[in-house]
Amino acid sequence: MSSNPSKIDPKEFRDINPGERLLMGPGPSDVPARVLQAMAAPCIGHLDPYFLGTMNETQQLLRYIFQTQNALTIPVSATGSAGMEACFVNLVECGDEVVVAVNGVFGTRMCDIVNRIGGKLIRVDCEWGRAVDPQAVAKAVKGKPKVVAVVHAETSTGACTPLSDISKIAHEAGALFLVDCVTSLGGINVPLDEMKIDAAYSGTQKCISCPPGLSPVSFSAAAIKALEQRKHPVVSWYLDFGMVRDYWGNERKYHHTAPINMIYAIREALRIIAEEGLEIRFARHILNHRALVAGIEAMGLSMLVPEKERLPMLNAVRIPEGVNDLKVRKALLNDFAIEIGGGLGQFAGKVWRVGLMGHSSRRKNVILFLAALEAVLKAEGFKAKPGAIEAATAVYAA
Ligand SMILES: *Cc1c(COP(=O)(O)O)cnc(C)c1O
């Protein structure tokens, strides 16, 4: 290729053709063909009556998956991290006290954002690989926090934090309850209204099985009140819900151009979820998780997170002694086209993160992955105990 930027030969740029992959990492997950087809529909104007109808339907479908009546339920035009930032910048002003529970990478990201806004951060450090301890949060909400924030599904470790106790603690302190549902939404139960969650954000590429690019967010009436009673303007222009709300609401006031074809995509992904039904979808995630764990344990490997605190869609498997993390992941990708994730932070090189998210959470993927891992480990000189496939199959048969 020429090094002169003014002289390029278009023929040197081939068609995009990444080939097939099985996405079993921490996201993105496999995208159903229907979603990709929806994205290929004609791009129309963002104030076109047809598109306005599509926006309304997308909001309806988002309220269904969030199980909420919240009027302000929209897809933010950027990935999950933007949803995280949107929740904090809209609700937290300089000097506001914010309690953040940290039991993995995404909790630390919340802390970073609170610090950048100038919030008064009260960080509750919990053990990584475990659920957040509600007692530790209770001890931290001694003052008058404006927000108590927690990650429901810590994708960096595979730990699931139950929400009801922490919700109660937050509300008794008069705080808003903010929850990261990026990995949980569409995979396990996230009943916003029932759990009295005031602000929630998610992402498209985890259990919703849509390409990355949007972040579903929902604000309760109390969160909107906090937004309306701010003393200072929201520090981010792009994520200011005061203005974004006027575009998604009846005013249809131009703020930014919605990513039209991404909205088509999430609408279709949500329609697929509604067709399956939330209960059946959650049960499917649990079943495939149980089969995977049965296979992993039959091989003589072990899980990072204690059984009762595990997420079904993100499975952190301890890397056995003497096995090379990178070599195994490379072989899975090169020889079997399977993508899994490595560990993050203190678990880098110590665990594999195996995703069973949304469309990727399927029996054929579980069996295929177990067989592939067995073969790759054997080539690496690690002799797994026999019977993984049988153990997984037994879970499906029961
Ligand atoms: C993936 C993820 C995010 C960040 O989402 P992006 O789409 O990568 O910006 C935030 N929180 C959790 C728990 C996640 O799993």
Residue 141 host element (H or E) = none
Structure-block tokens of residue 89: 């910048």
- Give strand pairing partners of 150: 179
Question: For all residues of the chain together, what is the average pLDDT?
Answer: 97
Q: Are 374 and 43 in contact (CB under 8 A)?
A: no
> H/E element holding 338?
strand 338-339
Nearest CA residue ID for atom 12, ligand 1: 182
**Predicted pLDDT at 247:** 94
Residues 113-152 pLDDT 10s: 999 999 999 999 999 999 999 999 999 999 899 999 999 9
Testing ligand 1's pocket by substitution, the residue of 105, 182, 314 carrying the most ligand atoms inside 8 A of its CB is 182
Supply the pTM of this predicted model.
Answer: 0.97
345 pLDDT exceeds 80?
yes
| pLDDT band for position 6 (cuts 50, 70, 90) | confident
The ligand 1 atom nearest the CA atom of 104: 13
Q: Which of 340, 337, 362 is nearest to 351 (CA)?
A: 340
pLDDT of residue 228: 97
CB of residue 81 inside a 6 A radius of ligand 1: yes
Report the nearest atom of ligand 1 relative to the CA of 205.
7
CATH of region 33-275, choose from 2.70.70.10, 3.40.640.10, 3.40.50.300, 3.40.50.800: 3.40.640.10
**Is 155 close to ligand 1, i.e. is its CB under 6 Å away?**
yes
d(CA 334, CA 243): 47
Say how many CA atoms lie within 13 Å of 289 toward its Cβ.
Answer: 25
Closest residue (by CA) to atom 5 of ligand 1?
80
Average pLDDT over residues 376-397: 96
Residue range 231-252: mean pLDDT, rounded:
95
- pLDDT at position 1 is 53
Is the pLDDT at 231 greater than 80? The verdict is yes
Domain ranges within the chain, ordered by starting residue: 33-275, 277-397
Sign of CA dihedral 258, 106, 100, 112: negative
Question: How far, in Å, CA of 155 to CA of 66, rounded?
Answer: 19
Query: Comparing C-alpha atoms, which of 304, 352, 347 is closest to residue 328?
Result: 352
What stretch of H or E contains 289?
helix 278-298
Residue 91 corresponds to which tokens in the numbers above?
């609700």
The ligand 1 atom nearest the CA atom of 183: 15
33-275 and 277-397 share one fold: no
Span 277-397 CATH architecture:
Alpha-Beta Complex (3.90)
Could you tell me the two tokens for 329?
Answer: 């992941």
C-alpha–C-alpha distance, residues 140 and 124, integer Å: 7
* Ligand 1 atom nearest to 203, measured from its CA: 7
**Angle 311-314-319 from CA coordinates, rounded to 5°:** 115
The amino acid sitting at 345 is G
Q: Per residue in 141-199, pLDDT tens? A: 998 999 999 999 999 999 999 999 999 999 999 999 999 999 999 999 999 999 999 99
| Distance (Å, whole) CA 217 – CA 213 | 13
Task: Using alpha carbons, list the distances in angstroms from residue 134 to 106, 110, 120, 215, 322.
Answer: 18, 18, 20, 27, 37
CA distance 127 to 284: 29
Q: Is the pLDDT of residue 2 over 60?
A: no
- With a 6 Å cutoff on the Cβ, whether 369 touches ligand 1 is no
Q: 156 in ligand 1 pocket by Cβ < 6 Å?
A: no
How long is the chain? 398
User: Which amino acid residue places its CA nearest to atom 6 of ligand 1?
Assistant: 80
pLDDT, mean of residues 298-324: 97
Quick check: CB of 180 below 6 Å from ligand 1? yes
